[in-house]
Amino acid sequence: MTYLPATSRRAALVTGASRGIGRAIALRLAADGFDVAIGYAGNAARAEETVAAARAAGAHAIAVQGDVAQAPDVARLFDAAQQAFGRLDVVVNSAGIMTLNPVAPAGVEAFDQTIATNLRGAFLVLGEAAARLGQGGRIIALSTSVIARAFPGYGPYIAAKAGVEGLVRVLANELRGRGITVNAVAPGPVATDLFFDGKSEEQVAQLAKLAPLERLGTPDDIAGAVAFLAGPDGAWVNAQVLRANGGYA
């Protein structure tokens, strides 16, 4: 189905939106009145499910496949969103992977893969957003609250996400005078497939108890924080990292 540009509505591009936190963000933005482009890496069926749910919420929505670590793919994501909606107001980079490896030479391939997706991908998406968005635009990246915990095995993931937080602050300054905000949301443990992968029930239970609220976050918890930054009430928040973690760190 082809939609004509909906110039009276705002439009958002969300990467990594076929499942988990990215999906929740896309659907929350759809409910808040945004048309949404669903960026995904490989699972077309899951992406189309997100598109269908966004349309059910009243949004125009499309799915666009692309690897955020590849500059041509990132450009194509943005081209597709702007062609479909005639505008682009909000960009959320939620695409990411998490592998657990010690800081050791044997883990360098996993390190390189994590850096490519989580940090290089953020660099490309944020940079493309900076080139495309106009006055009042919002750029939001996903970081992680595990940075403050420094758990063994999280070295590659923490290194990449710490880099993302640095990029957010630098880009906010580079966009001085253009009326575009750049922020990050740093979730604590959130009940997603990415979080559960490779963890035992005992480990999950321990992590759930770390925050004073004594539960795992939900994708909707994080989507609410992103929606705040993307909406009118977040207009004066810039170059910040919002740690949505229940007091975890």
Residue 4 lies in a domain: no
pLDDT at res. 226: 98
Residue 2 lies in a domain: no
Dihedral of CA 89/78/66/74: which sign? Answer: negative
pLDDT one-digit tens code per residue, 108-143? 999 999 999 999 999 999 999 999 999 999 999 999
Q: Give the CATH number, domain containing residue 125.
A: 3.40.50.720
The residue range of the domain holding 175 is 10-242
Provide the annotated active-site residues.
Answer: 157
**Measured distance CA(46)–CA(34) in Å, rounded:** 20
pLDDT one-digit tens code per residue, 70-112? 999 999 999 999 999 999 999 999 999 998 999 999 999 999 9
Residue 70 lies in a domain: yes
Q: Is 160 helix (H, G, I), strand (E, B) or coil?
A: helix
Residue 126 lies in a domain: yes
- Other beta carbons less than 10 A from residue 33's beta carbon: 12
pTM for this one? 0.94
pLDDT one-digit tens code per residue, 198-234? 889 999 999 999 999 999 999 999 999 999 999 999 9
Residue 247 lies in a domain: no
Residue 5 lies in a domain: no
Total tally of structural domains belonging to the chain: 1
pLDDT one-digit tens code per residue, 155-205? 999 999 999 999 999 999 999 999 999 999 999 999 998 788 888 999 999
**Measured distance CA(163)–CA(149) in Å, rounded:** 16
Residue 140 lies in a domain: yes
Q: Are strands 90-93 and 61-65 parallel, antiparallel or unpaired?
A: unpaired
Residue 196 lies in a domain: yes
* Closest by Cα among 115, 56, 72, 249 to 64: 72
